[in-house]
């Protein structure tokens, strides 16, 4: 098995060629998502009780490949969307997360993922969003000790969130119409 410190894995279309590479597929888990057309992405940074969102505009499916083609600006999250995203963060028992959404061609936000320790410094460099200061305040207000932190014991999440059964998940196929938040 070989690794490469200089070759990150970027989002790409799954082709027959990719699926035929069984040896590579066996090495690590992968995430497959339905393609969502559009060039606008929301990256919402959640640090404790504070959030800051940015709009990332790029014609590329994976905008990380070439940041010179990317336009990044701070973004005012619609209150209902922010509430729904925060609900998911809380249900997952997280106090920090960087959430990626994509706005589809109809203007609907589509959930892509939450990164529990997502990268954010590059965003500050691209648009001047004060993420370092926001993160520093989050750390300064964090409960001690961080080692062994259990959000359920500290009253930060609903105890039912750990026992959610698959039958309680949204029904239907895992397509773009699925939202991880309540209506």
Domains of the chain: 37-168 (3.30.470.20)
Task: Measure the CA–CA gap between 70 and 54, rounded to whole angstroms.
Answer: 12
Distance CA 48, CA 141 (A): 9
Instruction: For residue range 66-102, list pLDDT tens digits in order.
Output: 888 899 999 999 999 999 999 999 999 999 999 999 9
Gap between the Cα atoms of 18 and 24, Å rounded: 9
Model confidence pTM above 0.85: no
pLDDT in tens, 33-59: 888 999 999 999 999 989 999 999 998
How is residue 2 written in tokens? 């070989």
């Amino acid at each position: 098995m070989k690794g490469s410190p200089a070759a990150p894995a970027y989002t790409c279309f799954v082709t027959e060629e990719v699926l035929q590479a069984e040896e590579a597929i066996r090495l690590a888990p992968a995430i497959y998502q339905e393609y969502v057309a559009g060039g606008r992405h929301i990256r919402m940074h959640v640090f404790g009780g504070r959030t800051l969102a940015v709009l990332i505009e790029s014609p590329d499916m994976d905008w990380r490949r070439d940041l010179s083609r990317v336009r990044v600006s701070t973004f005012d999250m619609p209150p209902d969307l922010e509430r729904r995203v925060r609900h998911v963060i809380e249900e997952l028992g997280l106090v920090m997360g960087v959430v990626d959404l994509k706005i589809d061609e109809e203007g609907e936000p589509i959930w892509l993922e939450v990164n529990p320790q997502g990268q954010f410094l590059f965003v500050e460099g691209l648009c001047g969003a004060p993420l370092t200061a926001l993160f520093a305040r989050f750390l300064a207000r964090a409960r001690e000790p961080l080692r062994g932190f259990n959000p359920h014991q500290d009253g930060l999440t609903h105890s039912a969130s750990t026992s959610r059964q698959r039958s309680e998940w949204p029904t239907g196929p895992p397509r773009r119409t699925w939202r991880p938040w309540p209506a």
